[in-house]
Amino acid sequence: MRIPPMSSLKGKWVLITGASSGFGAAAARAFGAEGAKLLLGARRVDRLKRVAAESRKAGAGEALFHELDVSKTPSVEKFISWVREKIGNRRSATGSLHVLINNAGGAHGLDTIVEGKDADWEAMIQSNVLGVLRMTRAALPLMPHDAGACIINIGSVAGHTAYEGGAVYCAAKAGELQITRALRLELLGTGIRVGTVDPGLAETEFSLVRFKGDAASAKKVYAGTHPLTAEDIAEILVWIAGRPSHVNIDELIVKPVDQAAVGKVYRRKL
């Protein structure tokens, strides 16, 4: 029996949001190593510059970057205008957007609902939910039909299981999951693939952001356990995008072996 070949990512345009750190930065390097051409967005442009240089070194055909705040529609529109300038407005296999990775997001605070802050709630809904919608709406017209293009959203185990102090982050990632499912239905017949990767405990800047720069609290999250790395997720994203064009990876939950469930983590004595 013939195994269908992996779709080559060489020379294909790949757009990654939240590429300044964590999964997004690792994904930039990993897609770069496949010879893809990268369009990287985030708010910290100095960090994007560094990631772009690392991606070029890894083998990226191009590694371009531009400021992006997915929580603001004008910023998303400006970013997509820049993308159009760079790749042209064609829907051909090489001159259009092949992969969109909606990765920008994160958690803010670990307050219970009764102690919750409006600013934290709004930031989480803005980036994890509305950001995915805004980016998808703006980028979809640049994606070719029937050419193996794909949209991969980054969800979380938090979208599947609620935990104390996580109400809004869990709601946001559950929202991301349902947006992914609705989009797959809406794009039926276009040949554009749609999926979500939902990681568990992964050591990135995620906890530093959640605890507002408190490095000691962030470190505690990973104490004694062996979490996922950003590279673990990046490798999976490349694998998904590289499946043959008729194969859609719908939903993937990825956890470290030390995490049997949300809140059930094995920790070695330090």
Ligand X SMILES: NC(=O)c1ccc[n+]([C@@H]2O[C@H](COP(=O)([O-])OP(=O)(O)OC[C@H]3O[C@@H](n4cnc5c(N)ncnc54)[C@H](OP(=O)(O)O)[C@@H]3O)[C@@H](O)[C@H]2O)c1
Nearest CB to ligand X, comparing residues 36 and 51: 51
Q: Smallest distance, Å, CB 235 to ligand X? A: 14
Q: In the bound complex, which residue of the shown chain has the CB atom lying closest to ligand X? A: 22
CA distance 251 to 258: 21
Q: Smallest distance, Å, CB 73 to ligand X? A: 12
Among 7, 24, 100, 237, binds ligand X (CB under 6 A): 24
Question: x/- binding map, residues 132-171, to ligand X, per CB under 6 A?
Answer: ----------------------x-x---------------
With contact defined as beta carbons under 8 Å apart, do 62 and 37 qualify? yes
Nearest CB to ligand X, comparing residues 104 and 152: 104
> With binding defined as CB under 6 A, does residue 103 bind ligand X?
yes
Question: x/- binding map, residues 42-81, to ligand X, per CB under 6 A?
Answer: xxx--x--------------------xxxx----------
CA distance 259 to 257: 5
CA 133 to chain centre: 13
For residue 89, which amino acid is it?
N
* Listed residue (195, 192, 102, 80) closest to 143, CA to CA: 192
Q: Cβ–Cβ contacts within 10 Å for residue 192, how many?
A: 22
Helices 230-241 and 22-33 cross at an angle (nearest 10°) of 50
Tokens for 220, please give them: 């505690």
Q: Which helix (H) or strand (E) holds 265?
A: strand 264-265
Q: Which stretch binds ligand X (CB under 6 A): 5-13, 20-28, 80-88, 244-252?
A: 20-28
Q: Smallest distance, Å, CB 43 to ligand X? A: 3
Question: x/- binding map, residues 216-255, to ligand X, per CB under 6 A?
Answer: --------------x-------------------------
Kindly list the distances between the CA atom of residue 120 and the CA atoms of 3, 130, 203, in Å, as whole numbers in the listed order: 48, 14, 21
Question: x/- binding map, residues 183-212, to ligand X, per CB under 6 A?
Answer: ----------------x-xx-xxx--x---
Q: Smallest distance, Å, CB 143 to ligand X? A: 20
How many DSSP H helices and E strands does the chain contain? 9, 9
CA distance 238 to 156: 18
CA distance 167 to 112: 7
> With binding defined as CB under 6 A, does residue 106 bind ligand X?
yes
Q: Which residues bind ligand X (CB under 6 A)?
A: 17-24, 42-44, 47, 68-71, 103-106, 127-128, 131, 154, 156, 199, 201-202, 204-206, 209, 230
